[in-house]
Structure 1
Amino acid sequence: MLHSLAKRVYHSHLYSLLEDIGVSDSFADVYWRIQFAFSEDVVTRTVNDISASFYTKTRSEFTRFRDPTLNGEIKVLEEILESLNTDDVFYDIGANVGLHACFASKIINSGSVVAIEPHSKSAQRLNENIGLNNESVIIREVGFSSENTSAKLVIPTDQAGSVGDVRPESGNHREKHPEIQLVRGDDKIIDDNLPVPDVLKIDVDGGEYDVLAGLRRTIESGGCQTIFCEIHPGALKDYNTTESDVLSLLQDWKYSITKMEISHNSRIDEYYIRADK
């Protein structure tokens, strides 16, 4: 009933009026809060005829998994799944609560899925979601970067499903942001004897160049055939890099690059690229 009422309002003259006077976002906010309060805490989504279930215990999780477009990423997820073979090694870097890792684990059985997520609460939910789907995924509660260091994770709320960027550990210690560990991907793969990836997905809100630079030895070894990477032009500047730096690095490694648009009102200038050998 609530969904039906909201649908009618969204497509009515009333909603146009709400937009004109600048309160449509407030209406949407109230709608999602009510929906969250009265919904079950598990949702099952089907993509490419593959189904996976996810907990939606926080509002961030709820709005992502209840959104038909998965916050604009459903087309990217479809293409990732189409690229995977049963014996591949798939790395989900910036795994959050496991959208890509859970779906990938439904395809890969003789290979491996490796999920990299530095935020402890999201990593905990990631582990719970993997268990909910009765799958096996290698989880590392770290962030991949170009060096081994500590950082502060800047997120709107310290709960599962939140996304954000990092600041140097030497930043303002009065700010209440969780501390995370950043490691060079090359080092972590060797130290933990992890399998070399065939397919990478990278979504790290501005740290994409640093992630790739920290995986230089692994990528230059020639095993990784496909890289899906979300580009955040604005956030990249906070890391003193640009989208051109990311694209040039991949081109130097002889990848061909295809741009993949993301259409969602939560996105500003972000887009995905697919890089293939």
Structure 2
Amino acid sequence: MKFNLRGNADSWFWKKWLRFWSNLGRWFSPTIEVSDGNMRFVFCPKSRNDIFRYTTYFTKEEGTLAWIRDNAKEGTVFVDIGANVGLYSLYTANAARKIRVYAFEPHKFNFATLLENIFLNGLENVIQPISLPLGDKAGLMDLNYNSMDSGTSMTQLGHRQLPGNCEFEPKLSELVHAVTLDELVASGRVATPDMVKIDVDGNELRILRGMQEVLRSPEGPSSLQVEINPGQRQEVMRMMKECNWKLDHCHFTKGGKVEFERTQSYDKVPHNAVFVRD
């Protein structure tokens, strides 16, 4: 059946029809509330990825949450690069008073959910969402989408390789303007961070190359967590050492712990490395 919506939009039938579909959307958009006993968050999942992230909020990356709790204090400036739907930005925003969070997420569907999560949890005056992709240089590049779903990962900037050098065919490629963190901090649009979290599905080295001035500055961050994928560890360690940083500790996701117990190799299992000033 085909309807001419424009011709019938003011009719009694179409008003009832549109009201029905509007209500249906609300009925089938359940709200999820999660709490660890100290913090409480509200979410409206858009995909299975979202549901998984929300329901494993406090168990998937316990090491990341502990790192935030141990380092975030009153007045901390936190830069979250690869914020996805904003779980760790929200957690940090609630960790202490007068915190300022900059949440970077270029994937448009993730970013839309990030915006909603900030609003639903009343943190619009604490978290600054930024959809600009970060890299090692400024300029126009292709942002290649591995998935169009909210809560997804593995979006790649300027290339079509997943971690492990596996080629993929993008669902969609978007022309975007990439910038460096050094550029944003120097311009004053982003405050000098005290803490930096980097989780960008294999693009971590490019991010680090684009924030050399921030890393070397005496006024720069005191703690940095970066995800290290297979084949990256040696180069990340070298780069951080050159900037006078040292490894403090490493931790895994819940699934990564199982894989590390099997392989006993940091070079084969993605993990989070926490660095401090040397």
Q: So what's the TM-score if we normalise by structure 2?
A: 0.74
1:197-276 correspondence to structure 2 within 5 Å: 197-222=193-218, 223-233=220-230, 242-257=232-247, 258-264=249-255, 269-276=269-276
Q: Which moved more, 1:255-264 or 1:133-142?
A: 255-264
Q: In the alignment, which residue of structure 1 is the partner of 2:38?
A: 49
In the other structure, the counterpart of 1:94 is: 82
Q: Could you tell me whether the CA contact under 8 Å between 1:41 and 1:57 is conserved in 2? A: no
1:113 is matched with which residue: 95, 101, 104? Answer: 101
Residue 85 (structure 1) aligns with = 73
Residues 1:173 and 1:263: Cα distance change in structure 2 (over 3 Å): closer
Change (3 A) 1:110 1:206: same
Q: Give the superposed CA RMSD.
A: 2.9
Shift of 1:213: 1.1
Provide Cα deviations, 1:210-234, integer angstroms capped at 9, x if missing partner: 1111111112112200001111125
For 1:262 and 1:272, locate their aligned partners in 2 and report how far apart those are by CA, in whole Å. 8
Distance 2:149 2:121 in 1: 21
1:243 CA drift (Å): 1.9
SS of corresponding position for 2:116? helix
CA contact (8 A) 2:63 2:252 kept: no
* Identical columns (%): 22
Deviations 1:167-213 (A, max 9, x none): 52799999623444321111122335321000001001111111111
Are the counterparts in 2 of residues 230 and 270 from structure 1 also a CA contact under 8 Å?
Answer: yes
Deviation of 1:255 after TM superposition, in Å, equals 2.0
* C-alpha distance after superposition, 1:35-92 (max 9, x if no partner): xxx986332333472222222121111111113655x313322322221002100001
CA shift in 2, pair 1:86/1:204, >3 Å:
same
One-letter amino acid of the counterpart of residue 263, structure 1: K
Structure 1 residue runs without a partner (length 5+): 1-37, 235-241
Question: Partners of 2:57 and 2:217 in 1: how far apart?
Answer: 38
Q: Which amino acid aligns with 1:246?
A: V
Task: Point out where structure 2 has 5 or more consecutive residues left out of the alignment.
Answer: 1-26, 162-167, 260-267
Structure-2 change in CA distance of 1:50 and 1:209 (3 Å):
same
Trace 1:139-154 onto structure 2 (pairs within 5 A).
139-154=129-144
Counterpart Cα distance in 1 of 2:113 and 2:190? 22
Number of equivalent positions? 232
Displacement of 1:108 in angstroms is: 4.1
Deviations 1:13-49 (A, max 9, x none): xxxxxxxxxxxxxxxxxxxxxxxxx986332333472
Distance in 2 (alpha carbons) for counterparts of 1:180 and 1:152 = 6
Tell me the residue number matched to 2:121.
Answer: 133
Structure 1 pair 85–272 and aligned structure 2 pair: CA distance change class (3 A) = same
What SS does structure 2 have at the residue aligned with 1:63? Answer: helix
In structure 2, relative to structure 1, the CA distance for the partners of 1:173 and 1:68 (3 Å cut) is: closer
Distance 2:274 2:171 in 1: 36
Measured against aligned partners, the alpha-carbon deviations of 1:139-184 in whole angstroms (never above 9, x if no partner) come to: 1111111011333334442122111131527999996234443211
Q: Secondary structure at the match of 1:79?
A: helix
Aligned equivalents of 1:125, 1:112: Cα separation in 2: 20
Relative to the length of structure 1, the TM-score reads 0.74
Q: Which has the larger radius of gyration?
A: 2
